[in-house]
Amino acid sequence: MNKYQQLIDSDRQNIWHPYSALGSDQPIFPVVSAHGVRLKLADDRELIDGMSSWWCAIHGYNHPQINQAITSQLTHMSHIMFGGLTHPPAVELAKTLVDITPSSLDSVFFSDSGSVAVEVAMKMAIQYWHDKQQPEKQAFLSLRSGYHGDTFGAMSVCDPVTGMHSLFNDALAQQFFIDAPTSEFSSPCNSSDLNNLQTALAKHHEKIAAFILEPVVQGAGGMRFYSADFLNQARSLCDQYNVLLVFDEIATGFGRTGKLFACEYSNIQADIMCIGKALTGGYLSLAATLTNREISHTISNGEPGVFMHGPTFMANPLACTAANASIKLLLESNWQDKISAIESWLKPSLEKCDSLKNVANVRVLGAIGVVECTHAVDMKKIQTAFVEKGVWIRPFGKLIYLMPPYIINQTDTEHLCNAIYEVLNNET
């Protein structure tokens, strides 16, 4: 038995993969190295990565500057507890995040993952209202087709019907939902979307701590793009009804949509913002929840006078170092031009999929390309077909999408798009 098959067989004996059954016969592909935009399999095949490893490896793999920063940090310390201690990488990262995010966000809480960053945001909102003597405000308003993570609090604000967590509905906190905005990305917010939000807030605002949403792009809940003006209206209505506004920028942050943060397509700021994924350039798990001084001071001067959360690996020095290096690399590059170029390559290359009978819609924004099919894809079949085309694309449900690393070139981008067209064309 060759090494490639040995790895697969050993994996299936013991390992659960995301959203999979133990020992599943769904195809898995052993990777032994990664460089640039390519993944090298154990059988020496190479795949062009169209996923940025779930949207986080924005600089590609094995980047020398990030490698060097982490290697240097290892000679000092790999980890220390953050309770009662601090360290230069965390201090530098917090300052940078305050500098590059919307101006009102000046308090930073580090955590381990995007889901936990959302949990932290929800706890902040509840604790804030408790300290404002409004403890009845413990529920959340969210958008249908939204996705905010896999932990229990985060699951409760994901789509309750079509979302991947419907199995747990009876165990989750019951939240309030409105339909996802139908206003097009480049259009003003329509009256229907505005009325849905206003009606929900007018009816339930006394119970609602915060309205949480993914700005402009709904990610894993449907890869939908909607009007930035909806964010403007949301800010006004949240102020009117005394509800906090939370932006989940975990998938959209650090340039993916063409803005450094997707909320910049609007002219407003959230009370709390969650970031993660691309924060470290895909090197290590790290996330952060940022809030304004009103919330951080209210919690810090309330009862019990501390924010009630504290992960063991909070502000891990290696992860903070990777984040500092990744953000520096991004900001010192011509990233806006790169995103614009990727968008210009994706649009014509994916649009030809519109002619296929099994395609319902094609849409592109920044370095995000989406082909929505008329029916859910056969993952076992389509994943293998993509690998045979020399690409790594991981669809879900009806959606085949691309979020490539920012360093990708036109030839590799078009190869990814052509693979989608050819695989779907073979299905018709």
Span 107-138, pLDDT tens digits:
999 999 999 999 999 999 999 999 999 999 99
CATH class held by domain 76-331: alpha beta
**At a CB cut-off of 8 Å and minimum separation 6, what does 151 contact?**
115, 116, 118, 119
In which band, very low, low, confident or very high, does the pLDDT at 428 lie, cut at 50, 70 and 90? low
Is 411 exposed, middle or buried, given 0-12, 13-18 or 19+ CB atoms closer than 10 A? Answer: exposed
For 347-390, the pLDDT digits (tens) are: 999 999 999 999 999 999 999 999 999 999 999 999 999 999 99
Looking at 61, 128, 147, 421, which residue is catalytic? 147
- Specify whether 248 is catalytic: yes
Looking at 277, 338, 389, 398, which residue is catalytic? 277
CATH number, span 3-62+334-427: 3.90.1150.10
Inform me whether the pLDDT recorded for 21 exceeds 70. Answer: yes
What are the tokens at 150? 């896999």
Q: What mean pLDDT is reported for the chain?
A: 96
- Specify whether 19 is catalytic: yes
Long-range contacts of 124-127 (CB under 8 A, 24+ apart): 124/272, 124/289, 124/291, 124/295, 124/299, 124/307, 125/209, 125/210, 125/244, 125/246, 125/271, 125/272, 126/209, 127/299, 127/302, 127/307, 127/308
**Choice among 75-79, 218-222, 332-336, 385-389 with the minimum mean pLDDT:** 218-222
Looking at 49, 112, 150, 248, which residue is catalytic? 248
- Specify whether 4 is catalytic: no
Looking at 3, 9, 11, 19, which residue is catalytic? 19
- Specify whether 406 is catalytic: no
**Alpha-carbon span 409 to 386, nearest angstrom:** 19
What is the per-residue pLDDT for 1? 57
**Alpha-carbon span 117 to 260, nearest angstrom:** 19
- Residues 269, 272, 278, 283: is their CA dihedral positive or negative? positive
What are the residue boundaries of the structural domains of the chain, listed by start?
Answer: 3-62+334-427, 76-331
